[in-house]
Structure 1
Amino acid sequence: MAELDVELPPEVPQAHLVLIDPSEFRPEHRDVQLFRNYIDSPLQERVERTYRAMHTGQTVQFVQDRLAHWGKFDHARLSMLQVIKALDNLVDEADPDTDLPNSMHAFQTAERIRERHPDKEWLILTGLIHDTGKILRLYGEEMWATVGDTYPVGCAPRNSIVFGKSSFSGNPDLSHPVYSTELGMYSRHCGLDALTMSWGHDEYLYRVLQHNGHKLPEAALSIIRYHSFYPWHSGGDYRDFHNPATDDEKLKWVQAFSQFDLYSKSEELPDVQALLPYYSGLIDKYLPSVLSW
């Protein structure tokens, strides 16, 4: 496996990195039914620990605090390739399917899309960058507030959330007179964009792109913002908030993207150095050369 030959500025923090020897990671080639195994995966203890911390700590107040903190975009000035390079040494502890560094997953996803849709440059680039919001972790965010499936805070959790409602037993919002109800602080069919989602890399990257400017279509932003909202796009929950006029198109693109995001995880490791000229061109076409994170 060729590493991404991109120089990182010295101020990129290292304390939160997990040091990786890529030769150790060879995810087995699984049947599609065996992905997203939250019952008895080889990584079960780590995954369950991450989700239980998430379901306890993600409250309305916590998300509001995180939006204010990260919404200053004053943590770093980095190119997209520098961020991907930084994720060489970050493993998603909520993922039961792979122990590969996130940078490898970025290229796996993008290349799978490129095989099927070589004409959709914006979608290929979306596959490459969709998880780069995980740079949150490198700048001190908790793992459980960076990775994993997302869901709305401010209303009662739904059945299809990973590990179920019981994993929220320590969450203080469950005793709140409004936040503990089915609709919570929202109205029926208010639309996804009216929801306050649990804090993590999806919402962060969406806001980074909005803040810095970009040339990606709206469908790309929907994928970035909601690709981890599995209880909605795969579990069929939270449809009482779904507004067909605004959200049907989102659902179509997110569900299509999910097949590439999930099933691209394999033992085939990309030669990222060989791919670099192509992806550098896509980044230059759609994104600023340097972004504020």
Structure 2
Amino acid sequence: MSAKVISPGPTATILDPSEHLRPEPVHAEKSASQFRDYSVDPEDPLKERVRKTYHDMHTNQTVEFVRSRMADWLRFNKLKMTVKDALIKLNDLVDESDPDSNLPNIVHAFQTAERVRADHPDLDWFHLTGLIHDLGKVMAFYGEPQWAVVGDTFPVGCAWGDHIVYRDTSFEDNPDGKDSRYNTKYGMYKPKCGLDNLMMSWGHDEFLYRVLKHNKSKLPEEALVMIRYHSFYPWHGSGDYSHFCTEKDNENLKWVLEFNKYDLYSKSDTVPDIEKLWPYYEGLIEKYIPGEIEW
């Protein structure tokens, strides 16, 4: 299936790279084309919020910026907190990059986890992955602007992929685009170097992946791959950056795609009974990521 071009009128035409991920025509009482609608409408507050978040992201996410955030956050000295406490904290966060939901992030966490659980009842680590995949967004409570926390990710240090949302209008003021070290197809990397050798734009995916590695979680590698790349839509949604991929990356892609069915299509106004679900997921947290962990 080819990617769908969304034409919102005279103001913009946005290419949505996720169209071929959609396995069914209707999800959560919404047609597939209603998800990930990045059309521009200055009169629509939600769409303007999303557009501005991405504009700020694409202006400021540079090699230098990402290195600075890694140097700061990867000391893991901000706080100690259990996974459950981090999830509860997400009750106060609405993702400013999300065109599909205005609900607190904890609701999306349980929606995703329960959809995974229904389809994969025997993979309890997958259920927990669905629940925690956005926990890196706690950075928004500790000084990071949302454009450095949420939204789709992309590598810095090389030419920007064709299918990044708002690609044609949002990178004009990013200085890396004028830097010959970073603005070519391969930039500061080598062909087939592997995705794990790319420096991704700073956000919740990379941070949570690093937190789980640092704290020696017992989640399998498949879970860590899903967490690290679930927002890397230009790659898993459209095939951008395939010139960096190894056979291992191509194998991992199937897990990321499987996860994203639940991440994307679980968003609805139906709120799970979170209090009723806590005991099951507390058991999984204790099994795979127990106690207070360092963030």
Question: Does TM, normalized by the shorter one, top 0.5?
Answer: yes
Distance, in Å, in 2 between the alignment partners of 1:233 and 1:49 is 24
Letter in 1 for 2:37: N
Distance, in Å, in 1 between the alignment partners of 2:63 and 2:269 is 39
Identify the residue that residue 18 of structure 1 maps to in structure 2.
Answer: none
Matched, 1:30 2:30: yes
**1:169-248 matches, cutoff 5 A:** 169-244=172-247, 246-248=248-250
Distance, in Å, in 1 between the alignment partners of 2:258 and 2:277 is 24
The answer to whether the 8 A contact 2:63-2:156 is kept is yes
How many percent of aligned residue pairs carry the same amino acid? 55
Q: Among 276, 289, 292, which residue is 1:290 paired with? A: 292
- Give the secondary structure class of the aligned counterpart of 1:137: helix
- Give the secondary structure class of the aligned counterpart of 2:158: coil
Distance, in Å, in 2 between the alignment partners of 1:162 and 1:101 is 23
The answer to whether the 8 A contact 1:113-1:123 is kept is yes
Q: Among 270, 273, 276, which residue is 1:271 paired with? A: 273
Identify the residue that residue 257 of structure 1 maps to in structure 2.
Answer: 259
Distance, in Å, in 1 between the alignment partners of 2:76 and 2:190 is 31
Letter in 1 for 2:226: I
Structure 1-normalised TM-score? 0.89
**Aligned residue pairs, count:** 266
Letter in 1 for 2:249: D
Instruction: Kindly report structure 1 stretches of 4+ aligned residues shifted beyond 6 Å.
Output: none
CA drift of 1:165 comes to: 3.5
CA drift of 1:84 comes to: 0.5
Distance, in Å, in 1 between the alignment partners of 2:199 and 2:168 is 19
Matched, 1:81 2:89: no
The answer to whether the 8 A contact 1:213-1:288 is kept is no
The answer to whether the 8 A contact 1:152-1:198 is kept is yes
**1:105-116 matches, cutoff 5 A:** 105-116=108-119
Higher relative contact order (CA 8 A, sep 6+): 1
Distance, in Å, in 2 between the alignment partners of 1:191 and 1:60 is 18
Letter in 2 for 1:258: N
Distance, in Å, in 1 between the alignment partners of 2:245 and 2:172 is 26
Letter in 1 for 2:128: L
The answer to whether the 8 A contact 2:152-2:231 is kept is yes
Structure 2-normalised TM-score? 0.88
Q: Among 137, 154, 157, which residue is 1:154 paired with? A: 157
The answer to whether the 8 A contact 1:145-1:200 is kept is yes
CA drift of 1:33 comes to: 2.1
- Give the secondary structure class of the aligned counterpart of 1:111: helix
> Unpaired runs of 5+ in structure 2?
1-27
Distance, in Å, in 2 between the alignment partners of 1:266 and 1:99 is 10
Q: Among 102, 122, 132, which residue is 2:135 paired with? A: 132
CA drift of 1:276 comes to: 0.6
CA drift of 1:288 comes to: 2.5
CA drift of 1:187 comes to: 1.0
Letter in 1 for 2:268: S
CA drift of 1:74 comes to: 1.0
CA drift of 1:194 comes to: 0.7
> Unpaired runs of 5+ in structure 1?
1-27
CA drift of 1:40 comes to: 4.7
Letter in 1 for 2:197: A
The answer to whether the 8 A contact 2:40-2:51 is kept is no
CA drift of 1:289 comes to: 1.0
Distance, in Å, in 2 between the alignment partners of 1:170 and 1:218 is 37
Letter in 2 for 1:36: R
CA drift of 1:267 comes to: 1.5
